[in-house]
Structure 1
């Protein structure tokens, strides 16, 4: 993997010759541009031949191009600018003659500019991500889930006549589908009492209302099977990199002799939370390294990942969470979407992220913006 870009930019193809010549000659000629597939590497445009629509560029000793190779370069000039070229000839001493095929310009200006912070001014630590993506749709039960379901099923077996902890599967009864869809507990204290099917508690399913015309049929089915009481508790999982929940399974309890009490439901609910915590702990990779921030803006940052396990794992993720630390400022917890990935010359992973969650504290969003603002001002003053 050299580079993976997950961003979708709204780009304009510049076809007007005069406009293209103006952009290249005024803003790109004699300037440095980044290589799109290797964002850590750059070239310098040494000369622009307008009539021939050609560029003479110079690359570093680490980069070489072949004749006929297609390559793209970019630069942020308020807007994102991209040149698509084909290599015509190697001129020696890392100089290359290129023909310009296309010039693209982002439709909108960047919402905020990236700044390169001084060393040790800001860093990332406590990086948290899932080993396995746990969702509502499993084809097979992940090992970390299977082990914990089995442990807690055994723990609860002595308390109830029937207990099963499992994932949701296709074709299950309506009651399971309702629990999965709503994330609410189904509790029928007495299957032959109409009032037991109704609930005004927001955490519990109003089963009677959901059944409608099927109400009597369900009640009779309980009677035929001699089930006097039933509980289904959803297993709701929050991954370390997500702010949304996944209902990854259920705890199913039935009794044919004694009615299940609310105290027993609450006790089982607490044990379910304990089980979820154990799953999350087993399924989470946490790295306490101090990872450098290569650049930063109000909406995102670029992080240098030097840990091998994390570097191998993150390309398979869409998001992750971490703490960001500005020097002499308390850490702030963040959630971020991965927007691009690249590998530097030392085989370290570079991750570009867009922030979508700043802790659970509203003041952290303001605090983060203030820290970036202070850093930006200091850098401008030092220039």
Structure 2
């Protein structure tokens, strides 16, 4: 989200960052907060949770034991009065200072009321290795969204692909052509009814009135939506020489009542009726088509993506490719090859814990490696490579550094 005011720009990243599950001590007494801020955070460079990773802030003044502080943000930052902001820093343990903007002091400095402070009781399980000189990188990234979405950029392509793959099966020996289509505005009302009800439009024999009035719950009841003038429908079908018709909705989350189908299979048989025993085969075909279309929604990238830091449990990587930049979201997973220079690739699965886009348009991802039976071999290789990296660090010949951030002995004044 980008806010504009008086020519200034603040980039706030919708971080989708998962709450740190480590236990925390939460303190809300103003005098206690003031003492901790004065001892550990005053004039130190602080990150702003949920904003782009390169946005920093500094506490420039602490007003006694009131819990009020003056905070200066980087040039280009704007905050609304009353807005809540979380300042964070990792010392021996991770600290988060939860504040509310009270008054603007000048262009980039605000009076903030510190409402609480959270201090992690434990540090991270493993120390992170900060990677330099591209000595560790990710490549061959494959991302498959857990929730399939058709959009105007991919819809025509995925339908074309499905038509090509299933062209033989879509020419049915009994019913003729089976069409795959997308629900769109301006179609006949029966398509909109199928989309909204998620039910199957099925007229087994267009010449028999019973085909319009007798229906199971999964089928559209013709007389309910089109009135009781069935003879008109029979004549219309007869004029077009259509014996049987089926519209089968596909591509929707069947467990989500708010999810509407995106596409359909459509059969208008001029040869013989579509019988009840034929439906199971058509359902199976629709499932194979759905799987093919959803697989085509996978995003693949073979570029090298920088690994900024890494441990046995996860990594922070930087993404620059647009296809990934605009489609990777928190709490979903991806696959990729992790490469330590001079070593074979390690095939990894990871969950996206958080995402943050910086002002240059690059995306940083916080990944948590997935530990399951299939990953055991890869995780052993990862542990071996990380230990080798630590050994080289100890010997002073590595392209990475191990880092734990502790409180500096004396505050350093930093300028933006």
Q: TM-score, normalised by structure 2?
A: 0.56
Could you tell me which residue of structure 2 aligns to residue 34 of structure 1?
47
User: Is the 8 Å Cα contact of residues 36 and 72 (structure 1) preserved in structure 2?
Assistant: yes
Could you tell me which residue of structure 2 aligns to residue 343 of structure 1?
357
Tell me how far apart the structure 1 counterparts of residues 393 and 78 of structure 2 sit (CA, whole Å). 33
User: Is the 8 Å Cα contact of residues 117 and 293 (structure 1) preserved in structure 2?
Assistant: yes
User: What are the ranges of 5 or more consecutive residues in structure 1 without an aligned counterpart?
Assistant: 136-141, 177-224, 236-248, 252-271
The aligned runs of 1:106-125 (5 Å cut-off) are 106=120, 108-125=122-139
Shift of 1:101: 1.8
Q: 1:143 to 1:336 in 2, by over 3 A?
A: farther
The aligned runs of 1:76-115 (5 Å cut-off) are 76-88=90-102, 94-106=108-120, 108-115=122-129
Could you tell me which residue of structure 2 aligns to residue 13 of structure 1?
26
Over the aligned positions, Cα root-mean-square deviation in angstroms equals 4.5
Choose which of 337, 341, 346 in structure 2 pairs with 1:327.
341
Tell me how far apart the structure 1 counterparts of residues 166 and 334 of structure 2 sit (CA, whole Å). 31
The structure richer in helix per residue is 1
User: Is the 8 Å Cα contact of residues 15 and 356 (structure 2) preserved in structure 1?
Assistant: yes
Could you tell me which residue of structure 2 aligns to residue 63 of structure 1?
77
User: Is the 8 Å Cα contact of residues 33 and 114 (structure 2) preserved in structure 1?
Assistant: no
User: Which secondary structure state, in structure 1, belongs to the residue aligned with residue 315 of structure 2?
Assistant: strand
Tell me how far apart the structure 1 counterparts of residues 358 and 276 of structure 2 sit (CA, whole Å). 66
Shift of 1:103: 1.2
Structure 1 window deviating more from structure 2 (153-162 vs 326-335): it is: 153-162
Q: What do the CA deviations read for 1:295-337 (whole angstroms, capped 9, x no partner)?
A: 2232222222111222112138822222221222222222222
Could you tell me which residue of structure 1 aligns to residue 265 of structure 2?
none
User: What are the ranges of 5 or more consecutive residues in structure 2 without an aligned counterpart?
Assistant: 2-12, 150-154, 181-197, 203-217, 219-274, 402-416
Structure 1 window deviating more from structure 2 (112-121 vs 287-296): it is: 112-121
Q: What do the CA deviations read for 1:127-179 (whole angstroms, capped 9, x no partner)?
A: 212378449xxxxxx7666555555554247897689899xx7689xxx9xxx
Could you tell me which residue of structure 1 aligns to residue 58 of structure 2?
44
User: Is the 8 Å Cα contact of residues 80 and 110 (structure 1) preserved in structure 2?
Assistant: no
Tell me how far apart the structure 1 counterparts of residues 322 and 109 of structure 2 sit (CA, whole Å). 35
User: Is the 8 Å Cα contact of residues 326 and 371 (structure 1) preserved in structure 2?
Assistant: yes
